[in-house]
Amino acid sequence: MMHDHPVLRQLIRELQLIAALCCILISSAVVARAEQPFMTIEGDTRSIAWWVLAEFHPFTTEVRGIPAGQIRKGWCKATEFRKDLIPSKFLFEGGGDAMEASKQSFAVEGNFDGSSTRQLALVGVYEDCKGARGRFFMILDLPTVGKPRIRLLDAFQMPHQYTALSLDDDKTITLWACMDCDNFAKLKWDRKRHKFVWLSPPNSD
């Protein structure tokens, strides 16, 4: 019989071993993902605001179709903040939408530079290929054809990465490191200098 051939038996054993190893690796990856949620908190949220305690763990390798390594060299992961990634018990504590009440969001869209091209401002968390994590802020051009293009990138390495945005009527973008505090930075398009300018710089602490 064909399966009694020594070479064939060895090949079958090797294939079975490879298949078993693949199953173990896949299972380990699933378990690791399940054990490491996007947001973790160490501390008492009854006495300290959750966004002060929160640490975020990026798990995607691109943002809006742009690979992490193209956003910034040396990045391996980058995940855009989204409401569905934040436990609802924090965002909807008391039954209301805390971000909406603070007039904040994780992404805002508009013509920030007064051009005909739409732009998108968003925030998220990155992890470089050495394991260091931090927050990032991006403004993307949204052309009618083709992929988004990075207009501005600002990133800081830090252990607590919560960031949100709000947009004023005069197209000033405000970055918030909290929902209810005075830790913020403002950015606006400067017509004379033809670039985005920080009216108050972001805090790297």
pLDDT attached to residue 5: 63
* Confidence grade of residue 34 (pLDDT, cut at 50, 70, 90): very low
Report yes or no: 151 and 139 within 8 Å, Cβ to Cβ.
yes
Please tell me the total number of residues recorded for the chain in this structure: 205
pLDDT attached to residue 155: 96
With CA atoms as reference, report the closest residue to 111 among 152, 75, 68, 141: 141
Per-residue DSSP letters for 48-98?
A: S-HHHHEEE----SEETTEEHHHHSTTEEEEEE--GGGS-HHHHTGGGS-H
Average pLDDT over residues 187-197: 94
**Digit-coded pLDDT (tens) for 88-104:** 999 888 788 989 988 99
pLDDT surpasses 70 at 23: no
d(CA 78, CA 60): 6
d(CA 104, CA 93): 16
